[in-house]
Structure formats: structure tokens, C-alpha cells
Amino acid sequence: MALMIGLAAAVAGAKPVPGTATSDEYLGLQRPSTAQQLERNWVPDPRRTVHYVAPAEADPAVRRYLRHNIALFRRDIATAQSPLFLFLPGTGGAPDHSKWLLSAAADQGYRAIGLMYDDMPATAEACSHDPDPTCAGRLRAKRIFGEPVSDDIDDLPAEAVVSRLVATLKWLAAHHPDEGWETYLDAQGAPLWSRIAVSGHSQGAGIAAFIAKRREVARVALFSSPWDYYHAMVDGTDQRVVAPWVSAPESATPPDRWFAVLHAAEPQARNILKAYRALRVPAAHVHVLALPPRGKGSAHGSVSSDFTTPLDAAGAPAYLGDWRFLLGQPVAGPTG
């Protein structure tokens, strides 16, 4: 669908629609990260180990969305029992957009991975034409687990989030065998979710929430999402109803492990709060942020983006305390 829209715009001579196959936003994600993209925004720390993993090198079957994955940890505090912090960027985003957040996770004792995935189109865009209440859940199941249950996106199985994560962990284990990356995989080579904290921004947060509903994870940290919904007539008016996968009472991950933030000024704030309540995130675990975004950035992106998150007087992220609250004190889990 996105490809057809993009081609139609090109034929008509119109400006490409953001997020479609001819837009700069889309095309920028189809190439490996540049050295400048990988190095910008790092705060130097000699105790930090950083690895850049090209998705197509980790798995040659990955053909799209090729910006580098980022893996890092602090050598002085990470141990064999450290949990993994998995962060998924939002629509049109890349792992190198949130280095400060990844660094915050490493500073709290996690090993951290910022993972690239097929992050276009967004769930709301792909399902906007589909009246089926299950559209969002089916799309996420395909994008995350590679299940062939949705025709709304053309994601390849090797490009599914779980497939990419497994390939990245295996690459890290093979190239850095003394660092323990293989301990986040079980005996069958699948993610050992009990040792993984799942997180993301926007679409990435929706993915993290979907995983946590299906798998028991170490922790959930949501940044401004999900807001999956469908349209339904309620009392004679067209209303947005929370998608069934969000409101379903079943969750493999217990409520006390769910944490979330959003910005008070973002356009979807009301729907995000509604989703957090439907997900049964404890009210005390939700922080509503309110500082003005840096530069010309959006309130939505400012909760986690290196480019727009507000800074304090010392030049550090002003939301660092909120990030630490979401991340918590890592709890050692089983190693195999």
C-alpha cells in the first residue's frame, strides 16, 4: 500500500508523502548508518563498550531498514547476570536517534541494544482503512513475530523484530564471545524474555507492549505509546475504541513490571493514557512530562529523542530522572 501511494505521488509530480517508498524519510532508513550518524551525540565515557551491528551482516536475509543496531554496556558495572534493555525506535526512527537513553540504561547496569526494524508504515497508518478491530493486533504479530496473519504490511519473516534480535545477539556472541550476549537466548536460540526489559518510543513502545502481553519479560518501559484503536459507533457517534489486543485482560507480564511516560502536550496524549489504563499500567508508574521540546521538535518525540529532549543547566537530558524511574534497578535473572 505504501509503495503504491509513493509511486502515485511521484507520477503526479507531487511531493512524496512522508513515510512512503519515495520519501527521504523512508529512503534514509534503507542504507547503513554513516559514521557521522553513529558517532554524533555520544557523551564520552571510557568505561563504555559500544558495538555497531549492520542488520544485513547479522542476517543476509534482511534486505530493508538497514540502519545499524547499537549494542553497549559499562564494563565496570555489567555482569553475567545483567538484564538486556531492548529499545525500539518509533516510526521513521533509527537506533542512533536515542543514544542518551541507551547510555542511561548502560549506566544503570543493563546491557543495551537499540534495534532497527521495519518501522514504516505505522500501525495507525496501515490500519486506517481497515474497519476490522483486530487489524492492529494482526499487524503487530506479523511485524514482531513474523506471523503470516496480516496483508496490511509486506514485512519479510527475517525482518521481524524477534528475528532481527536473535540474529543480532548471535552476531555479538560470535564476534565478542567473552561478553555474554548468548545468555539472552535460550537453548533453542529464542530470546530469553525473562532476562530482557522491553522498551520503545511511539510505534516501538507499541511493539514492546505487545511483546510483554505475550511473553513474560523482566520489565516494560513505554515512551508515548501505544494508542492502537479502531472506529466504532457508540451511542450514535463515531468513537475511537482501544484495540482488543490492548484491552484484553490477559498479560504474561504482571502489572508491577509496567512503566510508562508521555508528554502532556502531544496530540495523542488522551488516547495514550486510555491505552495505559487498558494495559493496567499502575497509575503510580506513569509519568506525564511537560517541559518544552528542544529546538523545533515535537512534544511526542522529546520524551526520548537525542535531538529534541530538553536539557538541564549542565547540558544533560532533563528527563534523566524519569528515564531512570522507567528503567529501575536491574534485577538479575536466570542465565539459561
Residue 18 pLDDT more than 80?
Answer: no
Question: Is 160 within 8 Å of 144 (Cβ atoms)?
Answer: yes
Over residues 253-268, the pLDDT tens digits come to: 999 999 999 999 999 9
Over residues 220-241, the pLDDT tens digits come to: 999 999 999 987 767 777 778 8
Question: Is 308 within 8 Å of 298 (Cβ atoms)?
Answer: yes
Identify the band that residue 207 occupies on the pLDDT scale cut at 50, 70 and 90: very high
Which residues share a beta bridge with 288?
A: 262
Q: What is the dihedral of CA 58, 64, 67, 73, to 10 degrees?
A: -40
Calpha distance 215→209 (Å, rounded): 10
pLDDT at 241: 87
Residue 310 pLDDT more than 70?
Answer: yes
Over residues 38-63, the pLDDT tens digits come to: 999 999 999 999 999 999 999 999 99
Identify the band that residue 330 occupies on the pLDDT scale cut at 50, 70 and 90: low
325: left (phi over 0), alpha (psi -120 to 50) or beta: alpha
Mean pLDDT of 142-157: 95
pLDDT at 334: 37
Q: Which domains does the chain have, with CATH numbers?
A: 24-327 (3.40.50.1820)
What amino acid occupies position 177?
Answer: P
Over residues 169-203, the pLDDT tens digits come to: 999 999 999 999 999 999 999 999 999 999 999 99
Listed ranges 8-12, 24-28, 199-203; the one with the highest mean pLDDT = 199-203
Over residues 87-139, the pLDDT tens digits come to: 999 999 999 999 999 999 999 999 999 999 999 999 989 987 778 999 999 99
Residue 285 pLDDT more than 60?
Answer: yes
Find, among 120, 117, 134, 141, the residue nearest to 209 by Cα.
141
